[in-house]
Amino acid sequence: MSIGIIGAGNIGRAIAATLARKGLAATLSNSRGPESLAATVAELGPAITAGTREDAAASDIVFVAVNWSKLPGALAGLPDFGGRIVIDANNAIEAPLFRPADLGGRASSEVVSGMARGARLVKAFNHLRPDVLAADPAAEGGRRVLFLSGDQPEAKAEVSALIERLGFAPIDLGTLTGGGRLAQFPGGPLPALNLVRFD
């Protein structure tokens, strides 16, 4: 299973760090090109390599974690995802003013789904602060919780398995329109909740 990350900001790097901790290979990309990521991937370790946006987008599972205003450009012109999984790790906040984007009443993942042609979209990895997401998920004798939502059960099962492999406890919130709204920021009640599951 190949993994790509589009976006090398705080969340993208936190995702890369969680993958690297478990030795899971991934291609990290940004809008400035692989050369600009040399120091970042050196710090993350050998599991993470720098690539182009197209390299990352060709992976079996593709994380998208970019500033909301740059999202259309990050996904524009990419080939149809052809049923591959795209993990929406974005929040509808317009930087640098940190104000909510106008979504016209839609859930943020519905907007992202319209941009990621042919993808099986799963909302996940967006509700924790980057420093918490990058930290060891073993906490207080339990496992840190990651929420996920989506409309395709098989895609959610694959993402849930990845979350487990990374050491987190997945909690399925349901569909993109229902569960996605619970975990989206701003508006949802679940963002920034650092919950721990005890099995």
Query: What CATH code would you report for 3-197?
Result: 3.40.50.720
Provide the strand spans (E) within 22-74.
Answer: 26-29, 48-50, 61-64
**CA distance readout (Å), 150 to 55, 87, 180:** 24, 10, 7
Question: Global pTM?
Answer: 0.95
192 burial via Cβ count (<10 Å: 0-12, 13-18, 19+): exposed
Beta strands at 142-150 and 138-139: parallel, antiparallel or unpaired: antiparallel
**Residue 150 contacts residue 158 (beta carbons within 8 Å):** no
57: helix, coil or strand? helix
180: helix, coil or strand? helix
Closest by CA to 109, choosing from 13, 187, 162, 44, is 187
Closest by CA to 53, choosing from 69, 29, 37, is 29
* pLDDT of the residue at 107: 86
Q: How confident is the chain (199 residues) per 10-residue block, as mean pLDDT?
A: 96 97 97 96 97 98 95 95 97 80 87 95 95 91 95 98 98 93 86 88
Sequence spans of domains, the chain: 3-197
* pLDDT of the residue at 95: 72
Cα 47 to its chain centre, rounded Å, is 18
**Residue 75 contacts residue 7 (beta carbons within 8 Å):** no
Calculate the dihedral angle through the C-alpha atoms of 71, 33, 30, 68, rounding to the nearest 10 degrees. Answer: -30
Name the DSSP class of 152: -
> What's the one-letter identity of residue 81?
F
